[in-house]
Amino acid sequence: VVEALRSRFVEMAFVHSVGYVYASREAGCRILAKATRRGAATYTARIFVRHGSGIRTLAELRGKRMAFVDPTSTSGYIYPMVLLIKAGLVQKRDPKTFFREALFAGAHDAALLALLNGTVDAAAVFDDAPQRLLPEKARAAELLAVAESPRIPNDGVCVRQGLEPELLERLTQSLLSLNRPEHRGILRRLYNIDGLVAARDRDYDPVREAVDTLQLPLRSR
């Protein structure tokens, strides 16, 4: 997606939070709007354990088995890792300095199922993933959150470098017009979101800080 924006093959793209940081650094992209879900334009990452495990704090996860989602997942890896680093638990940005085993499940629901099935002792996912993703909704009650990240800006729509300011304004207003009641069904069908709000580049500064804390290989231009 970033390469398509950089090469001017596309003008606009939906990107997640870390994807936008990458697009802005690598291709000079600009954010126009960010998604809202259940009335909020932000969300959090949470680390879950099973009820009855006896684990109640991050420190009690030492030597346990941990499921992350993906190395580029904002809530499924990057923000949880920053939590662990800032708590002084993970050293040298290596989860294996704290956990006995750390694996990437590939998806938020897969990480939760690995936790419920006992494959791992904890899982990092977005805040309401248990309620939204588990096929058996009642199983969400089996899980307990032992840590939560600061607020994360939602995914959004960015545009490539070089578009005229007048066009940027027209595009922004067109995107925001999708919030009208007669259009909201389009957003739900296309992208599973409730609406869009205007976004600014500085909204994603906390994501940049998290990326830099982990020293992810995102080059600055």
Could you tell me what percent of the chain has a pLDDT over 70?
Answer: 98
Neighbours of 73 (CB within 10 A): 25
Q: Which two tokens stand for residue 108?
A: 């938020």
The token duo for 112 is: 């939760």
pLDDT in tens, 116-147: 999 999 999 999 999 999 989 899 999 999 99
* Residue 218: band (very low, low, confident or very high) from pLDDT cuts 50, 70, 90: low
CA distance linking residue 29 with residue 121, whole number of Å: 39
Strand-pair category, 45-50 with 143-148: antiparallel
pLDDT per residue over 21-73, tens digit each? 999 999 999 999 999 998 899 999 999 999 999 999 999 999 999 999 999 89
- The answer to whether residues 153 and 42 touch, using CB atoms and an 8 Å cutoff, is yes
pLDDT of residue 72: 86
Checking if the pLDDT of 89 tops 60, the result is yes
Tell me the pLDDT band of 215, cut-offs 50, 70 and 90: confident
